[in-house]
Structure 1
Amino acid sequence: MTTLSRQLPDFYEYNENETQFYLRQMRYPEDMALVHKWMHEPHVIPQWQLNKSELELQVYYEKALADDHHRILIVGVNGQDVGYTEIYEGKRDRLGRYYDGDDTDLGWHLLFGEKSAFGQGYLRPVMRMLGFYIFEHAPSTKIVGEPDHTVKPYAVVVEELCYEAQRLIPMPEKTAKLYYCFKDKFYQKFGGYLTASQQAQKKIQPVAQTEAML
């Protein structure tokens, strides 16, 4: 049986303000050196706690990639891999122990591993991309999130992007704040971004086809 998360495409492109963003399925073991580097970055370690040896990470990702309740994807900007996301099924994830969710709920975790991506204004477009990626390819009516409630800047961004705070959740490693992002409200606010992205891709596609014929 194909699970909800496994129905999502292996590649997704999104354009905003003349910048190309994309999601692609993590390639194992080809991407391990890149992920290993990111997991040892000082800004990543506190939240992800995966600053393990290469062998330990290989074992971790062999298990993770075999788990059919989530997808592991690389985030790219203008052709460069800059980050990493895990998209998971809320009820089948450990989060399912802490909230009464729907079978179609999906959530995500995100990190920017490349320091060159800092301060470029990429967070909001990438979060919009994740929303469209999920809502366009899954029957989900809401996205869930459970970030550490002490990360104050994050709270400002998610509320701006239609994520509504629900309540605090006491988890072993953190006190998380549960968020819901409802599909109808997300499209009411950001549907125009998707239309603009699709139009931008149509303009690019004929050029690519012409080059392929030469």
Structure 2
Amino acid sequence: MTTALGTFTTRPLDPFPSSRLRSGKGGTVSDVELVHRWVTHPKASFWLMGGARLEDVEREYMAISAHPHHDAFIGLHNGEPAFLMERYDPTEVELKGLYEAEPGDIGMHFLVAPTDTPLHGFTRAVITAVMETLFADPSVRRVVVEPDVSNSAVHALNKAVGFEVLREIAKPEKNALLSACTREQFETARREGAAR
């Protein structure tokens, strides 16, 4: 996706700490080292990994890589790592048994990398790129998410791209606002956003 802020793309996250080293602002790092920096940053408190060691993050993303119903991606902004995206089957991961699934449902998490030089509108551009990536699969009819009830910033972003709150649910690690966005709701939100 290309916007006024630049080009947004994704690639599969490589969970192996010693392979496919990337150069970035902090030198040469693996995907796992990069994600460790992101998920342990205070701004990522809702990821519940603030005290995670590098080995914990490696183990988590190795498990996701091996899971048949869960995938992780590094999001790129103009070719540089800038966000994390996870896609999952909500009938098998995260929401299994907690909601009424519909055919074509896909689950999603995203995290924008912390920065000292934020760009106005960047996080909204990221979530829009994430939604476009998910809906690029024609079998996906609806995206479901389960953000923490107290994560008001994400609730506002979700609403801006078309999510509707279904109800509050209790998960083992948090109380969450189960929310869903159909392809049609996303397209309507994009049109309305472009008209502003």
Q: How does the TM-score come out when normalised to structure 1?
A: 0.76
Instruction: Report how far residue 174 of structure 1 moved.
Output: 1.4
Query: How many angstroms does 1:60 deviate by?
Result: 2.2
- The CA distance in 1 between the partners of 2:189 and 2:100, in whole Å, is 26
Residues 133 and 192 of structure 1: is their aligned pair in 2 closer, same or farther, counting only changes over 3 Å?
Answer: farther
| 1:58 to partner: Cα distance | 2.1
The amino acid across from 1:135 in the alignment is: F
**Aligned to 2:92, what secondary structure does the other structure show?**
coil
Give the direction of change, closer, same or farther, for the CA distance of 1:75–1:116 in structure 2 (3 Å limit).
Answer: farther
Give the SS at the match of 2:124.
Answer: helix
- Distance in 2, matches of 1:139 and 1:192, equals 25
Task: Show the counterpart of 2:81.
Answer: 81
CA contact (8 A) 2:103 2:141 kept: no
Q: Structure 1: how far apart are the matches of 2:117 and 2:78?
A: 11
Match of 2:47 in 1: 48
Q: Spell out, residue by residue over 1:53-83, the C-alpha distance to the aligned partner (whole angstroms, 9 max, x if none).
A: 2223222222121001111001121222112
Q: Which runs of 4+ in 1 moved over 3 A?
A: 116-120
Deviations 1:162-183 (A, max 9, x none): 1011110011221111111011
Counterpart Cα distance in 2 of 1:54 and 1:91? 29
Say yes or no: does 1:68 pair with 2:30: no
Q: Secondary structure at the match of 1:43?
A: helix
Cα 1:119/1:135, change in 2 over 3 Å = same
1:137 maps to 137
Q: Does the CA-based 8 Å contact 1:89-1:104 persist in structure 2?
A: no
Q: Secondary structure at the match of 2:167?
A: strand
Structure 1 residue 119: deviation in Å? 4.3
Q: Shift of the alpha carbon at 1:40?
A: 2.1
Q: Normalising by structure 2, what TM-score?
A: 0.82
Contact 1:91 1:103 in 2 (8 A): no
Q: Does 1:182 align with 2:182?
A: yes
Distance 1:49 1:185, change over 3 A: closer
Q: How many residues get paired?
A: 179
Query: What are the Cα deviations for residues 153-202 of structure 1, in whole angstroms up to 9, with x where unaligned?
Result: 22222112110111100112211111110112222443699xxxxxxxxx
Partner residue of 2:161? 161
Q: Give 1:147 deviation, angstroms.
A: 0.6
Shift of 1:143: 0.6
Structure 1: how far apart are the matches of 2:126 and 2:175? Answer: 25
- Structure 1 unaligned residues grouped into runs of 5+: 1-13, 194-214
Stretches of structure 2 that go unaligned for 5 or more consecutive residues are 17-29
Higher relative contact order (CA 8 A, sep 6+): 1
Cα distance in structure 2, aligned partners of 1:42 and 1:132: 28
Describe the shift of the 1:184–1:178 C-alpha distance in structure 2 as closer, same or farther (beyond 3 A): same
Greater fraction of residues in helix:
1
Bigger radius of gyration among the two: 1
Q: Which aligned pairs between 1:96-115 and structure 2 lie closer than 5 A?
A: 96-115=96-115
Decide whether the 8 Å contact of 1:90 with 1:107 is kept in 2: yes
Question: What root-mean-square deviation, in Å, do the aligned CA atoms of Structure 1 and Structure 2 show?
Answer: 2.1
Are the equivalent residues in 1 in contact too, given 2:69–2:93 (CA < 8 A)?
yes
Identity rate, percent: 23
